Amino acid sequence: MEWLAGARYTASMISMEQRVDHLDSVMAELAHAQVRSEIAFKASGERMEQMLARMEADTQRMRADTRRMQKAWGDLANKMGTVAEDIVAPNIPRLAVEEFGFTEVEDLMVRARRASRRGEKRVAEWDVVCSGPDKVIVVDVKSTPTLEKIREAPARFAGFFDFFPEYEGRELIGVFASWAIDPKLHPAIRDAGLYGIAMGEDTMDIVVRPAPRC
């Protein structure tokens, strides 16, 4: 019987060795699989980084192309004298709602030429007039902004209701606009109590806000 017990012991040892060998094989395969996964993940990450880099480069090129097109458009509008119609006016209703708190836009007039309704008869042209229920935006558009033109604007805005008495009692928002405004002119616009708008990254935006009233 001893030989039988020995045979069983030997068989048990062989079976144990086989299980250990199988376990070693499984662990080795798992290790190899992990290595392969890490390599694949790294390669995938590198491909993703390359793809993102290409997308970013494409986006930068598109932005550069857009800026060049916008500049060409602005230069052409300046030469043709259509900055008010083509560039400024289409943006005013949006700014009226987003920036100036209009609940709605009632009227939008471009190149509004009108005779005065009060005092000495005068005729004046207003580049852009945008009215809402309790506010009216008056825009002075200049193709070439200068310090002198900025300083002249407040007096011009002060006489607005002589030409548009129907808007009397509404808050008047004076805006000085151009395709581009030199930052050196920003303080003058601010001190004049005006907003300044110019072309931003994608569309026209407010670049200057008036100084707070004391």
Q: How far apart are CA 131 and CA 99, in angstroms?
A: 14
Banded model confidence at residue 82, pLDDT cuts 50, 70, 90: confident
Q: What is the pTM of this model?
A: 0.67
| pLDDT per residue as tens digits for the range 122-178 | 999 999 999 999 999 999 999 889 999 999 999 999 999 999 999 999 999 999 999
Q: How far apart are CA 160 and CA 145, in angstroms?
A: 21
Instruction: Return the higher-pLDDT residue of 80 and 135.
Output: 135
Q: How far apart are CA 193 and CA 151, in angstroms?
A: 10
Is pLDDT of 65 > 80?
no
Q: How far apart are CA 114 and CA 203, in angstroms?
A: 30
**Is the four-CA dihedral 41, 47, 53, 59 of positive or negative sign?**
negative
In the three-class reduction of DSSP (H, G, I as helix; E, B as strand; rest coil), residue 165 is classed as helix
Q: Which of 37-41, 106-110, 146-150 has the lowest mean pLDDT?
A: 37-41
Token code pair at residue 89: 């006016």
**Is the four-CA dihedral 88, 93, 98, 99 of positive or negative sign?**
positive
Token code pair at residue 45: 């990450």
| pLDDT per residue as tens digits for the range 170-212 | 999 999 999 889 999 999 999 999 999 998 877 889 999 998 8
- Residue 140 CA to chain centroid, in angstroms? 24
